A and B are shown apart, each in its own frame.
Chain A
Amino acid sequence: MADTKDHAGTPGSGRPEPGSGRPGRVRYTATTLLRPFVDYRRLAWLWVRAFAQYPLSLVLMSLAVTVSVLTQVGAVVILFGHAGALAGFSVMEGLLVFGLASSAFGIADMFAGSVERLGNHIRSGTLDAMLIRPVSPLVQVAADEFSPRRLGKVVPALAILGVALSEVDVEWSAAKVGLPVLMVLSGTLICAAIWVITGCLQFFVADAREAANSLTYGGQALTEYPIAIYGQEVVRSVTYVVPLAFISWQPALLVLDRPDPLGMPEQLRYLGPVVAVLLCLCAALTWRFGLRHYRSTGS
C-alpha cells in the first residue's frame, strides 16, 4: 500500500480538510445525508441490469402486474356499476380512491417492498454480509431485488389517478394542483413505513412474513375502496391505530371537499404529511431496535 497516502480509499477521502470552513462543512453534511439515496440508486440499478438478463420473464412479470391492476380497476367499475354508489362515492370518485391507494402502495412496494424478505436474509446469512459494508443495511435490504416490473403497477395506477382527478367534479385552483402530488408522496411514505415496521417483525419472529402481509397487502386491499363502507370501528382503527386512512380516504375527502360521512373530525384530512413523517420516524426507530436485537442475538 502506498504509505504516502495514509487514508487512501477510506470514506474519509474526499472530505474537507479540517478548517476548510463552512461551505465545506455544508457540502459534507449534504453528501452524508444524500448517501443512502445514492447507494440505493447504485444497488437498484445493478438489480435492474440483473433482471434484464431474463427479458422474457421480466416482460411476463410486468404484464402480469399490469393485467392484475387493470382487473382490479375492472372490479371497482363492476362493483360501483352494480351498486350505483358506495359510501356516497360515484364510480369516478371511487377510482380516485383506488388510484391514490394503488399509486402509493405501488411506489412504496417498488422502493421498500423487499424489506418483507428480511427473514430470508437472516436465515441465509446475507444480512451479516450487508452489515460489514459501509452502507445502511436498511438501504441494502430495501434495494434487494429491485425490479422494474413493479412499474407495471405504478404506471397504470398513476394513469387511473390522473383520469379520475380530471373527471371528478372539483374546482381546480392553483393551490389545489400541487395537492395530488403531496398526497401520493405522503401516502407512499406511510405505506413504506408500514412495510418496514412489519418487516422488522422478522427480527423477532422468523415466520412473521405472511402475517405481516395481512397488514401490507391487506392494507392495500382495504384502502382501495372508500373505507366508510367498512363501518365505524374499522375506520376508527385504521385512523388512530394503523393510519391507513391517510393513504387514500382522507386525501380523497380533501380533494372532493366532502364532509366525512362518519362524522370524524374534518381536520384529519390535512394531517396526511404529518402522519407520514411521524410514521417514518417510527419505522426508523423500529428498524434500529430490531437491528439492535439481531446484533445481540445473532439469530
Chain B
Amino acid sequence: MTPNETLHRETPGEPIIEAVGLGRDFVLSEGPFLRRTRRRVSAVGDVTFTVRAGEIVGYLGPNGAGKSSTMKMLTGILTPTSGTVRVAGLEPARRRTRLAAEIGVVFGQRTTLWWDLPLRDSLSLTRHLYRVPEREHAERLAELTELLELGPFLDTPVRQLSLGQRMRGDLTAALLHAPRLLVLDEPTIGLDVVSKSTIREFLLRTNAERGTTILITTHDLGDVERLCDRVMVIDHGRLVFDGDLPELRATVPVPRVLVVDLAAPAPRIEVPGAHAVRVEGPRQWLELRDNPARVIAEVAGDHEVVDLTLREPDIETVVSSLYRGTVSVERADGS
C-alpha cells in the first residue's frame, strides 16, 4: 500500500467487481510416483461478469463447478491463469492485503472466531487487525449487537455457542470494518429455520441501509429467493446463466403448473394448451403450454372445479434443470 492512495468509493450502480475472461487451470498429477502423468484441467474457464455496487448476487452451481475457485480469485487467495478481475478497483491477486480491508468474507463451514474465548475478544481483535478507530468500532459493534441480538452471548466462549449464534458472530466479525463488499460462502448451512431468517433479514437490511454489495454462494435456494436480485449460475467452470430470477425462470423451459381440485375424480385431463402430468384422486396437475386463462376456461367447461392454483416453477427446479439440461415437471410443484 502506498501512503497516499485514495480508493474511489463506488456510488450505487457503479461496478464493484469486474471479471473479464477469468480462468483458472490446475495441473493434476496422477498415478504412481515414477509413472506420474500430468494433466491440465480447467476449474474456471473464461468467465465474464460485472457486479454493481449495491447488488445482492447469488452465485450458484453444483459442487466442483468452479464456485470456490472463482471466490478465491475474487478475494485474492488464488491467482488467475487467464483473464482479468478487479474488485473495488484493485487487482485481487496483486493487492490482496489492501483488498482485505475493503471486503468481508464469511465461510459458513468454518469459523474464524477464537474457540476458547468470549465472542467479544474475537471481535475486538478484528478492530486491531483491520485498524478500525476505537470510536467507530464501538459504534458499529453496538449497532450490529442490536441488529443481530448478540447481547446475551457476547461474553460467552465461542465453543459454547450454537451454530446460529456462531454464524451471527462470524457475520459481525466480517462487517466490523465496514467492508463495501461482503462475500458469503454458504452462510446458512446447517442452520435452523429461525436462524436462517434472522440472517437473511439482517443481510437485506445491511444491503439496503449501508449499500453493502453482497455476493453469496449457497445451496439453499431459500437464500436465493429471499435475498438475490440477480443470479449467476456456473457449471463446469462456465457461466451458464446471469440475470434476475424472472429471467432465469423464462430462460429455462420449465412450464408453469396449474393445480386443479375437481369436485369428483375424473380421467386424466387433456385440453388444448395443457395436459395432466399427475393425478391424485380429485386433484390434477396440469402442465401449461399456453395462456392459463384459456386453459382454465377449457377445464371449467368440462369439469366442476372446486379450486385452482397456479404454481411458478421454484428456483431449485430451474437451477437443477440448468445444470442437467433437462426439465422435470414432477419436481415443479415441490413434491
Contacts and interface: CB of A to CB of B under 8 A. Distances in A.
Q: Do A and B come from one complex?
A: yes
B101 A11 contact: yes
B116 A134 contact: no
A296 B103 CA distance: 21
Interface stretch (A45-53, A81-89, A272-280): A45-53
B130 A9 contact: yes
A21 interface: no
B112 A11 contact: no
23 contacts: A1-B212, A5-B136, A6-B9, A9-B178, A10-B101, A11-B98, A11-B130, A12-B1, A12-B5, A12-B7, A13-B133, A25-B3, A43-B125, A49-B121, A132-B96, A133-B129, A134-B97, A134-B98, A134-B100, A134-B101, A134-B130, A295-B93, A298-B24
Interface in B7-36: 7, 9, 24, 26-27
For the residues of B in contact with A, the DSSP-based class is: loop
| Most-contacted residue by chain B among A14, A132, A295 (CB, 10 A) | A132
Contacts of B133: 8-9, 13-14
Nearest to A25: B3
A9 B136 contact: yes
Interface stretch (B73-81, B244-252, B253-261, B320-328): B73-81
A14 B157 contact: no
Interface in B154-199: 157, 176-178
A80 B257 CA distance: 91
A257 interface: no
A53 B121 CA distance: 14
A1 B178 contact: yes
A125 B97 CA distance: 18
Contact of A50 (B9, B117, B128): B117
Given A1-B211, A298-B78, A9 B114 contact: no
A10 B97 CA distance: 11
Interface string B128-144: 11111100100010000
A120 interface: no
Interface size, B (range): 35 or more
Given A32-B1, A132-B77, A134-B130, 19 more contacts: A1-B212, A6-B9, A8-B133, A10-B177, A11-B131, A12-B1, A12-B5, A18-B4, A39-B128, A42-B125, A43-B125, A46-B125, A50-B117, A124-B110, A125-B110, A296-B79, A297-B27, A298-B24, A298-B72
B49 interface: no
A131 B112 CA distance: 12
Contacts of A38: 128
A28 B157 contact: no
Interface string A227-267: 00000000000000000000000000000000000000000
A205 to B, nearest CB: 12
B205 interface: no
A295 B177 contact: no
B289 interface: no
A295 B5 CA distance: 26
A68 interface: no
Given A28-B3, A295-B79, A129 B212 contact: no
A166 to B, nearest CB: 42
B153 interface: no
Nearest to B177: A9
Contacts of B136: 5, 8-9
Contacts of A295: 77-79, 93
B131 A131 contact: no
A42 B122 CA distance: 11
9 nearest A-B residue pairs (beta carbon): A134-B100, A50-B116, A1-B210, A9-B178, A18-B4, A10-B101, A132-B105, A53-B116, A9-B177
Interface in A126-151: 126, 128-129, 131-136
